[in-house]
Structure 1
Amino acid sequence: MQNPLPLTIVGSINVDLTARAERLPQAGETVGGGRLVREAGGKGANQATAAARLGAAVRMIGAVGTDPDGAWMRAELDAAGVDTTSVQTSDEPTGVALIVVDREGENQIAVCEGANGDIDLAGVEFGADEAVLAQLEISMDLVVALAEQVRGYLAVNAAPARDLPEAVLARADLIIVNETEYALIPALRTAKRVAVTYGADGAKLFESGAEVASAPAVKTTVENTVGAGDAFCAALTIGLASGVSADRALAAACAVGAAAVADPRSQPLLSRYDVYLPA
């Protein structure tokens, strides 16, 4: 990218409480021997930090509490190069995600939204040259408002899976899901542009249900899958919103996802976007 893409992330900011265990517990089961890690997370914050590390000019619209965790989350975003002037303060506590990760890197996650439920777009303006990326750890009303207010490129990571209103389906320039989410949202079969990730089988891009691009997964050692999808979303949005061809943007996003999987953090350290583009 010659010039940094102006990119706004609208989404969740959480503290991730991650238990690393030998395996994931079954229903009603306790698995011992875990190791607890406390770090910055939330799908919105994960995507914002990934995008900033990839070289985009990123601002974050979200909300944190007045608690020490809120100050910590702001500091983590600042350190990653994210503009936090639009991060709001709520009377609710900062959001928390409870995560269990097994030795293969697979995970189970329960999210307590806290301050994330209070994000407000009042007074927020979006430029015509500005791309916007949102997820579904925020209210659907907020996503619908984005569909109405965003003037430039709009990408929606439809995760966790929920049915999308027609206003969002019709407006979004890109919807990103994994294969499970794709199966749970039938309306995506006819959406104008949908990227689907398939784990070890790579990713595909569909336009009105027809496959227009695909890319293989990049083989790597799996440490943690929690932030990989978020890094993929950031990279794909940067690529497509910047005018990179679908095949190259998808391949770069898969390479970024692989780099994220190999990093134990939910907010992995990444190189600049151009490093991941195929030759």
Structure 2
Amino acid sequence: MASKETRSRVAVVGSLNMDLVARAPRLPHPGETLAGRTFAQVAGGKGGNQAVAAARLGAQVSMLGCVGADANGAQLRAGLEAEGIDCAALETGREATGVALIVVDDASQNAIVIVAGSNGEVTPETIARHEAVLAAADVVICQLETPLATVHAALAAARRLGKTVILNPAPATGPLPAEWLPLIDYLIPNELEAATLTGLPVGSPEEAATAAAVLRAAGARNVLVTLGPRGVQAALEGAAPVLYDAPKVEAVDTTAAGDTFIGGFAAQLAEGVDVDAAIRFAQRAAALSVTRAGAQPSIPTRAELGG
């Protein structure tokens, strides 16, 4: 494992949003105005969340993305830099910084609307300009909150450079392009995303295992379907399907739990930790995150996990 002086490197290609979070007794119905209880404005975006998680959980992280020339963009950049994240590849675009409108209910479930803003300005040319960031990484993480052509360019560059490639297919709107799957070492959807990618029902661990097998057969080397409190259904290269039970906690807010899992998993892989231990570590980190409110504020540090 890497020492603190020679921490392994994770590059995150993805989105940064300012999250506008309202808490309410339940999620509103269409056309309904519902009284909320509290409001908070916190740093978010899947890319930013995963970068912060990887940094807090032990990796040296670089962020490749785009924010606006506005107060939200300045705040997001400053927040990443405060976590020790290299922002040399974080560009400033013409559009306003992305925002996410989030409602969290009393059952700790959420509904999210994203306005991409400057995240839409991350292009394949952006990837080419900052390829040195990918070349310096051990693990490269992508999601789907930047343009699909950009995600493909990042996946292809990371594969060509021989990096371990993680794709979190969120938000998923349909099957992934067939040519993407062989570029991916670890495809990590949640149950809804796995169902969208495969067209199969994913309402149980058994159905998740079936969907994961389909995605592996299509070319992804390894598939981890995150199932919230039911754990992680893993279809790993050369191994039988296995369900990793989730730690038991009392959830307060599930926002960024999946991002925490991915960041922690990537940080462990970058250190050379075996996949089984990396999954269990990431589960512990995600479980701790749901006991606290907010996206990035909820992400734990490695010290909190005892290592």
Q: TM-score range by the shorter chain?
A: over 0.9
Aligned to 1:272: 302
Cα shift at 1:170: 0.6
Q: Does 1:176 align with 2:188?
A: yes
Aligned to 1:248: 277
Match of 2:265 among 228, 236, 241: 236
Aligned to 2:82: 79
Cα shift at 1:239: 2.4
Cα shift at 1:274: 9.5
- The DSSP-based 3-state class of the residue aligned with 1:177 is coil
1:58/1:101 CA distance change after superposition, 3 Å: same
Letter in 1 for 2:263: A
Cα shift at 1:208: 6.4
- The DSSP-based 3-state class of the residue aligned with 2:154 is helix
Cα shift at 1:155: 0.5
Contact preservation (8 Å) 2:139, 2:269 = no
Determine the C-alpha separation between the residues in 2 that align with 1:276 and 1:233: 19
Letter in 1 for 2:195: A
Contact preservation (8 Å) 2:66, 2:92 = yes
Contact preservation (8 Å) 1:49, 1:80 = yes
1:212/1:276 CA distance change after superposition, 3 Å: farther
Contact preservation (8 Å) 2:11, 2:137 = no
Q: Which moved more, 1:31-40 or 1:59-68?
A: 31-40
Cα shift at 1:276: 6.3
Equivalent residue pairs, number: 277
Determine the C-alpha separation between the residues in 1 that align with 2:294 and 2:191: 23
- The DSSP-based 3-state class of the residue aligned with 1:72 is helix
Determine the C-alpha separation between the residues in 1 that align with 2:243 and 2:179: 27
Contact preservation (8 Å) 2:228, 2:246 = yes
Cα shift at 1:198: 1.0
Q: Does 1:257 align with 2:286?
A: yes
Determine the C-alpha separation between the residues in 2 that align with 1:129 and 1:60: 11
Determine the C-alpha separation between the residues in 2 that align with 1:86 and 1:236: 23
Contact preservation (8 Å) 2:10, 2:140 = yes
Q: Deviations over 1:21-58 (max 9, x none)?
A: 11111122221133111111100000001111111000
Contact preservation (8 Å) 2:260, 2:299 = no
Indicate the percent of aligned positions where both proteins have the same amino acid.
40
- The DSSP-based 3-state class of the residue aligned with 2:181 is helix
Listed as ranges, the matches of 1:201-220 within 5 Å are 201-207=230-236, 211-220=240-249
Letter in 1 for 2:300: L
Determine the C-alpha separation between the residues in 2 that align with 1:33 and 1:15: 19
- The DSSP-based 3-state class of the residue aligned with 1:19 is strand
Determine the C-alpha separation between the residues in 2 that align with 1:260 and 1:13: 19
1:274/1:153 CA distance change after superposition, 3 Å: farther
Q: Which moved more, 1:115-124 or 1:209-218?
A: 209-218
Contact preservation (8 Å) 2:26, 2:106 = yes
Cα shift at 1:167: 2.5
- CA-atom RMSD, angstroms? 1.9
Q: Does 1:135 align with 2:143?
A: yes
Cα shift at 1:261: 0.6
Determine the C-alpha separation between the residues in 2 that align with 1:107 and 1:274: 25
Aligned to 1:109: 112
1:128/1:266 CA distance change after superposition, 3 Å: closer
Determine the C-alpha separation between the residues in 1 that align with 2:166 and 2:223: 10
Contact preservation (8 Å) 2:22, 2:36 = no
Bigger share in strand: 1
TM-score scaled by length of structure 2 = 0.85
- The DSSP-based 3-state class of the residue aligned with 2:246 is coil
- The DSSP-based 3-state class of the residue aligned with 2:187 is strand
Cα shift at 1:129: 5.1
Aligned to 2:215: 188
Cα shift at 1:205: 1.4
Q: Does 1:2 align with 2:2?
A: yes
Q: Give the gaps of 5 or more residues in structure 1.
A: none
Cα shift at 1:128: 6.3
Letter in 1 for 2:301: S
Contact preservation (8 Å) 1:48, 1:59 = yes
